[in-house]
Structure 1
Amino acid sequence: MWAYEGIFYQIYPIGFCGAPTANDGKTVSRILKLKDWSSYLESLGISSILLNPIFESDNHGYDTRDYKKIDCRLGTNKDFAEVCKDLHTHNVKIVLDGVFNHVGRGFWAFKDVLEKKWDSPYKDWFCINFDGNSCYNDGFWYEGWEGHFELVKLNLANPAVVDYLLECVKGWIDEFDIDGLRLDVAYCLDRNFMKRLRSFCQELKPDFALIGEVLFGDYNQIVNDEMLHSCTNYECYKGIYSSFNSMNMFEIAHSLNRQYGPEQWCIYRGKHLMSFVDNHDVTRIASILTNKNHLPLTYGLLLGMPGVPCIYYGSEWGEEGVKAPDNDYALRPCFDAPKPNALTEQIKKMIHVRTGSNALCHGSYRNVVLTNHQLIFERKTDDERMLVAINASDTPFTAHNGELGGTMTDLLTGNEIQMNGQLEMPPYSVQYLK
């Protein structure tokens, strides 16, 4: 699976393109802006772009009106086909947001139910009770996603709904040549639907990637040979920023070992979960860290640990953004152009090392040195051994361990390091040692 060896770059298109937050019905080809970024993404070492919703919707994209039409605020299907072709030319694959748990109130089948009530042939596409009423006074009750009644839950146990959604996915592959899907709120989705989606997509495109949004629980339930290839690793997301803010590297080291370590009880060994330091739903890493010197270190950890790294647009140059209680607009801004800086260059080097290393992409995980402020872990395959060394302290540290022996090269600096049971770790440093 190509996704296990690549770097993802996540963009929230409605915000990124500067589109109105509510659908104004005007067609403007804003999505073409992505073509201006394709060379930048290629130079950064990005292998796939992960796009949040792009299909016609009421407001934020997760309230879909039409799965077969690009949102008019972003442009036309022809515009997006042009963008996909351009990204592929720059060796960047395309993964779209598959919002299959719910639709917006403007979705054509739900509008038919609003009009015809129980006489609508689409009434069984949703979870409806005609003995009740909704907060919109529709004359019937329906299930919304987690109490949000602008998001109408689809009945994925209905074969007609599943057939329709699979037809849409086939259309996206045929028209845009997409390479995968991120399944929104995958923890809510019907398991049989995910199995059907996996086999359907695999027949159309054998290396089609399926990645689920999961916040909690046992990821093995949906990341397996029958369902999804990967899912979001929120446990390690929290562990990364929290370890630096509390100066307690034991937290992230515990999570990584619990998930990927050598002991028999470790739970996700051999799996590739999607790792990240921020995304479109959470406060940006530059805003949540209490010490800005830790910013490059969080990426050093992200790109050195097991998983599929995903970078959120703008965060690679340290953009800030705080999640508001009632909206996420601050997290989803519009940038005129990329603004690379010294942090971006550091991340670019780390990406280069990551994608060129079998051990970092596929290797085992083992903690070697662990203190409150320092972490050294080993990534290893049959043909390669790497050490990832992070010093979160503002002072130098000398790590002592019998496994720190021989001559190794820091792939980020090119320096050779002779180790005799110890490693010098500069303040606020990341080292990728081979």
Structure 2
Amino acid sequence: MDWSEHAIFWHIYPLGFCGAPIREPDAQPQPRLRTLLNWLDYAVELGINGLLLGPVCHSQTHGYDVLDQLKIDPRLGGVEDFDELLREAKQRGLRIVMDGVFSHVGDQHPDLLQALAEGPDSEKAARFDIDWKAEGGPKPRVFEGHEGLVRLNHADPGTRDHAVEVLNYWLERGIDGWRLDAAYSVDPGFWDEVLPRVRAEHPDVWFLGEVIHGDYSAFSWDAKMDSITQYELWKGIWSSIKENNLYELDHTLQRHDEFLESFVPQTFIGNHDVTRITSTLGVEGAVTALAILMTIGGVPSIYAGDEQGYTGIKREQVGGDDEVRPAFPEHPSELSELGADIFRAHKELIGLRRRNSWLHDSMLKMHDLSNTTCRYQVVGTDSSEVLDVSINLKPGKGQPRVVIRDHQGGVLWKQKAPKK
């Protein structure tokens, strides 16, 4: 059985979580990655069985402007610190998925600087997408207008070989899978060649491709990926709750079922690139969103801090990610008690998901749909594999917002409306 069928991830952005400087020099280098060791038991208590790590390899600033993907970022420590994290995570039954950046590199990457200095016929030149005839001299082509992110040349065999080397290196150290950043920006033919070579050495590896728009099913098939980030679902969940329009949720869930016929998407209501779900919906709405996430097909993840009701707005400006990528306390004992209720709701709903692992690739049927109310049934392959989920975004006094029942009608979980 594929281990991802039971996976529920805690998604962490380590550079932010561990308090590393992002845009200024590191005045006090230290093994900050070891902060995560203090949080592993917390993750287990939450019900998590996997860590979806943001970038930890050597980079210039935010982690995605990579300099060397065979080294741990000095702001986080060294490979020995990462190995310790792996050991401690494995002892607790936690899988580890790393974030790999193969779309682009930082503009100070040493191989890029060497290529620019030595010219188009040099050893490193073919690795990068450079306009050698540009006015004013060679000009590297960049990723989506970001001057600090230089595109790789994905047609170059050396680029493909290096990707295989990086993917295998960390798998051999003990990780379980890869999130492939900006996978959508790379021709599927690149992945179609690279990923099978890695699977030949590591048949249990799980590959998650970051894809925001487009035909998820076709990309998953063409690129030989196991899963795709389900941004359509993310948007449909929060938007339908915020706008009191469960017809949008119905449409989104129908689309989601279509994807499930060809692959199992990676599902979420928060990550390191979007506004915090509690900032968008408030605690009450965030819990409703979580109830939906935990009762439909997919490989779900919880973005670290959402389970405590953290807030933060994603802004389109320099430093616009900072609010959603904050430093965490050194130890969970330092958390505010204000997050206790939403943490409890996460534990309960994650526990429900763990007890019903058949939800991984389950399909659903919508009933009793209106702008503010709906009921859907999620069905597995066995007659007892049924969940009945009722949602009321505007409940009357004493009525619940969400009720989850089993196949016999017994109440498994209930979200009570707040006292007026």
Cα deviation, residue 236, structure 1: 1.1
Distance 1:52 1:358, change over 3 A: closer
What is the rounded CA distance, in whole Å, between the counterparts of 1:205 and 1:47 in structure 2?
A: 20
Q: Give yes or no for contact 1:239–1:252 (8 Å, CA) kept in 2.
A: yes
In structure 1, the residue matched to 2:264 is: 272
Alignment counterpart, residue 331 of structure 1, candidates 317, 324, 327: 324
Contact persistence 1:359–1:379 (CA under 8 A): no
| Preserved CA contact (<8 Å) 1:297 1:428 | no
User: Is the contact between residue 30 and residue 77 of structure 2 (CA under 8 Å) also seen in structure 1?
Assistant: yes
Aligned Cα root-mean-square deviation (Å): 2.3
Instruction: Confirm or deny that 1:283 pairs with 2:281.
Output: no
Which residue of the partner structure matches residue 410 of structure 2?
Answer: 409
Aligned to 1:345, the other structure's residue is in SS state helix
Tell me, in whole angstroms, the C-alpha distance in 1 between the residues paired with 2:223 and 2:185.
17
Which of 275, 278, 290 is equivalent to 1:299?
290
Is contact 1:392–1:427 with CA below 8 Å preserved after alignment?
no
Deviations 1:90-133 (A, max 9, x none): 11111111100000012121021132223521111111122115
Cα deviation, residue 144, structure 1 = 0.5
Counterparts of residues 237-252 of structure 1 (less than 5 Å) = 237-252=234-249
2-side partners of 1:372 and 1:258: how far apart? 19
What's the CA shift for 1:362?
2.6
CA distance in 2, matches of 1:6, 1:189: 27
Q: Distance in 2 between matches of 1:428 and 1:302?
A: 21
> Which range moves more in the overlay, 8-17 or 291-300?
291-300
Matches within 5 A, 1:389-408: 389-395=390-396, 407-408=408-409
**Partner SS, residue 223 of structure 1:** helix
Give the SS at the match of 2:270: coil
SS in 2 for 1:330: helix
- Residue in 2 aligned with 1:146? 144
* Aligned twin of 1:421: none
Give the conservation status (yes or no) of the 8 Å contact 2:188–2:223: no
Deviation at 1:22, TM superposition (A): 3.1
Distance 1:270 1:8, change over 3 A: same
SS in 2 for 1:278: coil
Superposition deviation, residue 396 in structure 1: 6.0
Paired residues for 1:167-316 under 5 Å: 167-175=165-173, 177-224=174-221, 227-260=224-257, 266-269=258-261, 271-289=263-281, 291-316=282-307
Cα pair distance change 1:428/1:240, threshold 3 Å: farther
Q: Secondary structure at the match of 1:68?
A: strand
User: Partner of 2:19 in structure 1?
Assistant: 18
- 8 Å contact kept, 1:57–1:63: yes
1:123 to 125, 132, 151: 125
CA 1:32/1:348 → structure 2, altered by over 3 Å: closer, same or farther? same
Residue 346 of structure 1 and its aligned partner are, at CA, apart by: 1.1
Residues in 2 aligned to 1:351 and 1:35: alpha-carbon distance in whole angstroms: 22
- What whole-Å deviation, never above 9, does each CA across 1:194-219 have from its counterpart, x for those lacking one? 12232123222222110011111110
Q: Structure 1 CA distance, aligned partners of 2:95 and 2:416? A: 37
Summarize deviations over 1:382-412 as a string: whole Å, max 9, x none. Answer: 211111222221316999xxxx998422223
- Deviation string 1:45-82 (CA, Å, 9 cap, x unpaired) is 11211111111111111010111110000000111011
Aligned residue among 318, 324, 333 for 2:309: 318
Match of residue 95, structure 2, among 79, 84, 93: 93
How far, CA to CA, are the matches of 1:406 and 1:122 in structure 2? 61
Aligned counterparts of 1:237 and 1:126: Cα–Cα separation in 2: 34
SS in 2 for 1:59: coil
The Cα shift of 1:427 comes to 4.1
Once the two structures are superposed, residues 205-259 of structure 1 have per-residue CA deviations (whole angstroms, 9 ceiling, x without a partner) of 2221100111111101222386111111111111111111111111111110133
Alpha-carbon distance in structure 1 between the residues aligned to 2:416 and 2:166? 53
Contact 2:388 2:406 in 1 (8 A): no
Task: Indicate conservation of the 8 Å contact 1:24/1:73, yes or no.
Answer: no
Q: Is the 8 A contact 1:32 1:79 kept in 2?
A: yes
CA-to-aligned-CA distance 1:257-285 (integer Å, 9 cap, x gap): 1331xxxxx45435311111111111101
| TM value normalised by structure 2 | 0.90
CA distance in 1, matches of 2:10, 2:102: 22
SS of residue matched to 2:120: helix
Letter in 2 for 1:333: P
Q: CA deviation at 1:27?
A: 3.8
Q: Distance in 1 between matches of 2:169 and 2:114?
A: 23
> Partners of 1:46 and 1:375 in 2: how far apart?
29
Q: Give the TM-score, by structure 1 length.
A: 0.88
| Among candidates 53, 70, 76, match of residue 51 of structure 1 | 53
CA deviations over 1:301-331 (Å, ceiling 9, x no partner): 1111221111111011110001122121111
Give the aligned residue type for 1:317.
Answer: Q
**Whole-angstrom CA distance in 1 between matches of 2:116 and 2:172:** 32
Q: Does structure 1 residue 372 correspond to structure 2 residue 371? A: yes
The separation in 2 between residues aligned to 1:253 and 1:105, in whole angstroms, is: 44
